[in-house]
Structure 1
């Protein structure tokens, strides 16, 4: 059996790393094709998980439009897929790399396995373009590896065949457990390096396209005003490389003392900072999955989420980006809500998702 793994961003790399090693360790021929959608950040993760790509398309350039990215990817992937003649192609999540990887595989009539299938917000423009990407991939996929029961239900409602939907759990938990087990000493050293080991801090990340501009400015203003009244709390903010994101961060926070602005962190570093945080505020999807494993309450800075399991389990609250709402929930976390959220169960898996994916592929291939 020959499997092609196509991905391009750091979050994708984290989530496919356990799958790659599970396939490789069981003597399955697996080829890694990276698109380079996140250039520097991608290779940090590849190095950590000891993955050497077989192909690197190096596709990204500054200011590139989605339509331009899609066209380039499709042409380059088509050449590789025709050469390799894969039995399966695996894509993960909802990026442009994942969508075009699935499309290129479909054009070559190769079965597509979709890791992290069935996530939905119900609004095709939120998040943009991820919600459309994940629905399009579902239309093309032959196998749907759904992390949770709710994801399975979403797919069944859209009339996908039940026999092709596998409840696998989320592979990000596999990756996180590996880090916690093998890198605990490194995690403490990283917190000391960034001068946060003796601080009580809120970790915040914001980067999504729909939050650029006014939503991010309003959110950060609320956080700054809250922290001015809470002298024992600091803000730690690993900044995305996008200049539009950085412009807002500096506009709002440059005159604020109790902040630690960080350059993009390697995955291991980010886990260390997340593990030491008091709680987390984010518009990231992956962090909503990782935080429950670390017992970290999470305030989601979005109006919709394709991960309602965290909301239902009580580990996260969906609060949007309005000043008043952010202040409300930060104040609520001063009381019992914090302890309720930090003790909630992780709805996203047991760390054995990659094993389930590998076994299903083997059984189906045979």
Structure 2
């Protein structure tokens, strides 16, 4: 009998990172995947899902009237509770640390349905940063029956919290699987404004900032630091991918627009965004997933946070944690822009997040959880031969 597995997603990163696992479930006759979308980030989600050939089986159509996390959490939890009652899955799969993840973990726990947590074990050590993600993933760990950790470091975080080692499997990160699939079919620029990059000789600084804990003056000061640095370097072209959130755009646009060497664009389809990373000389970001993608593509990056749950990229040497102080941001950009030896060393850092085969490992672990097999599940071990680089 096929095992019905509810795969819950609601944001662009969840869609990207769960797409390889959904494909594995679809191709395995033992599983019947049911894809549930909360619609947490409607516009970005609708942009990315068709590229992976995914159409949700159930769309909750969560509506938001404010930026209240309490309102969003209540809507997601209520919608998922009704969905699980209707579907009666054998397991629920949730990813990462979003409000959708939190809602899925609570809904599964309340209905006593086994929960599988993909990208488990990430920890910053500060429950307020990133906010609310650090809290979300810790709660999800309490509810999870199976923890699919992307790295050995993530596994150690879980064991340090008392998680049963028998429930933890190191799989690698599915984002490397998604990158491999996407880069194999990426061609052209989706946004005509980006076609200038084909002939422009300037080096590109790619900027993405949106973290909730940096809203207000920190975001404006970061944008100002980047723009002022660009003013001093005629060979620099800043490409700023602005978040779809109107509040974030309102903070950044007044600082970045109408500058000769700053190009602002809306969120780009995933293939185009990966092309942007490849084209960039340096990436400056506060995003979590971009830290993984840049390390896999051999692009040095500056992380605009005081702490990161993806310490592996920093330890490997591919990323530098610089915080949000504008003077520090200026200094670090100047350093990487002018120090060729440092730039080359960071670009050569080993990608610690996977080998492109995380999704099959995840599916094998779920099969064992559901009693479909009793054999061992292969785990991911980082070696020079398996580093997740698609450079």
Query: Which category of TM-score, normalised to the shorter sequence, fits these structures?
Result: over 0.9
Note closer, same or farther for the CA distance 1:342–1:164 as it changes in structure 2 (3 Å cut). Answer: same
1:17 aligns with 2:22: no
* Alignment RMSD (CA, Å): 1.4
Counterpart residue number, 1:254:
257
Moved more, 65-74 or 352-361: 65-74
Counterpart residue number, 2:244:
241
Note closer, same or farther for the CA distance 1:316–1:187 as it changes in structure 2 (3 Å cut). Answer: farther
TM-score (norm 2): 0.90
- Structure 2 runs not aligned, ≥5 long: 372-391
Partner SS state of residue 236, structure 1: strand
Could you report, residue by residue, the CA deviation over 1:146-184 in whole angstroms, capped at 9, with x for unpaired residues? 00111001000000000101001000000001112232x
Q: Structure 2: how far apart are the matches of 1:131 and 1:192? A: 36
1:55 aligns with 2:55: no
Counterpart residue number, 1:338:
343
Q: Structure 2: how far apart are the matches of 1:229 and 1:265? A: 28
Alignment check: 8 A CA contact 1:190 1:272 kept: no
Counterpart residue number, 2:154:
151
Alignment check: 8 A CA contact 2:284 2:301 kept: yes
Moved more, 305-314 or 356-365: 356-365
Equivalent residue runs for 1:1-366 within 5 Å: 1-27=3-29, 28-183=31-186, 186-187=187-188, 193-199=194-200, 200-333=203-336, 334-335=338-339, 336-366=341-371
Q: Structure 1: how far apart are the matches of 2:325 and 2:351? A: 27
Moved more, 38-47 or 53-62: 53-62
Partner SS state of residue 83, structure 2: helix
Could you report, residue by residue, the CA deviation over 1:261-292 in whole angstroms, capped at 9, with x for unpaired residues? 00121112211212211110000000000111
CA-CA distance at 1:295 after TM superposition: 1.1
- Structure 1 runs not aligned, ≥5 long: none
Alignment check: 8 A CA contact 1:191 1:273 kept: no
Alignment check: 8 A CA contact 1:213 1:244 kept: no
Moved more, 270-279 or 85-94: 270-279
